[in-house]
């Protein structure tokens, strides 16, 4: 298996689900189908949220520097997310995942780092967070992927992945946004 991201603190699917649930609860959107992801990212990242040109960010749709408190989103992606375009909404939620899950981590990729499994892959973690935030299990149970795309505003691929996983995953208990109770203080190493 090939991994795409930087090596980070390992997190399970259930830990990521609990963090996404806690954020939804904190933002008082626990039962909301269509999450206002643009407002969430702008509010949570504050002045660290930057809409940038393709000249500054290249082909990247978004880049996050969690160790510096910065989320950069390419302007066309930002405007598409404002219009409710599913893939752009996924991108903003993905970058928010990096911002929240990898705060004490520099995400610069290095060929000398070997990620030994998906639990340590920053991209896998951010992908899971995005899907769990925008289309949580309790909202999508019993729905088709097409329903999830329409109701939650996620890409069809995200909806397919979420519907498939929701059939096999037990519901997680909400925890703090910083992570699990036992590991929340060990993140600063």
Tell me phi and psi for residue 64, to 5 degrees.
-125, 135
**Cβ within 8 Å of residue 157, ≥6 positions away:** none
Q: What angle do CA 124, 125, 127 make, to 5 degrees?
A: 65
pLDDT digits (tens, 9 = 90+) for 62-89: 999 999 999 999 999 999 999 999 999 9
166 or 2, which is more confident: 166
Determine the pLDDT at residue 120: 86
Q: What is the pLDDT of residues 101-121, one digit of tens each?
A: 998 765 554 444 454 667 889
Rounded to whole angstroms, the Cα distance separating 176 from 13 reads 15
For the sheet with 62-65, list strands across it.
49-52, 70-74, 62-65
Query: In the chain, what percentage of residues exceed pLDDT 90?
Result: 71
Q: What number of residues does the chain have?
A: 189
**pLDDT for 182 beyond 60:** no
Which is higher by pLDDT, 189 or 44? 44
Q: Where are the alpha helices (DSSP H) in the chain?
A: 13-26, 37-45, 54-57, 75-82, 86-101, 122-134, 137-140, 145-152, 156-166
Give 19-36 pLDDT, tens digit per residue. Answer: 999 999 999 999 999 999
**Domain map (residue ranges) of the chain:** 13-167
State the pTM of this model: 0.83
Amino acid 106: pLDDT: 59
- Apex 184 CA angle, 25 and 89, nearest 5: 45
What average pLDDT does the structure give for the chain?
Answer: 86
Per-residue pLDDT at 162: 96
Contact 123, 131 (CB under 8 A): no
């Amino acid at each position: 298996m090939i991994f795409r991201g930087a090596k980070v603190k390992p997190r399970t699917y259930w830990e990521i689900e609990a963090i996404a649930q806690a954020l939804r609860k904190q933002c008082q959107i626990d039962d909301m189908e269509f999450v206002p992801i643009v407002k969430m990212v702008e509010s949570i990242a504050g002045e660290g949220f930057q809409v940038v040109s393709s000249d500054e960010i290249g082909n990247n749709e978004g880049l996050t520097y969690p160790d510096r408190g910065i989320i950069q989103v390419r302007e066309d992606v930002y405007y598409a997310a404002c219009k409710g375009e599913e893939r752009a909404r996924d991108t903003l939620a993905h970058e928010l995942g990096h911002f929240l899950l990898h705060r004490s981590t520099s995400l610069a990729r290095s060929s000398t780092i070997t990620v030994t499994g998906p639990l340590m892959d920053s991209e896998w973690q951010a992908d899971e967070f995005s899907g769990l935030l925008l289309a949580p299990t309790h909202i999508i149970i019993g729905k088709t992927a097409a329903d999830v795309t329409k109701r939650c505003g996620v890409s069809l691929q995200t909806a397919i992945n979420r519907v498939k996983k929701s059939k096999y995953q037990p519901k997680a208990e909400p925890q703090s946004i910083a992570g699990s109770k036992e590991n929340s203080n060990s993140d600063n190493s």
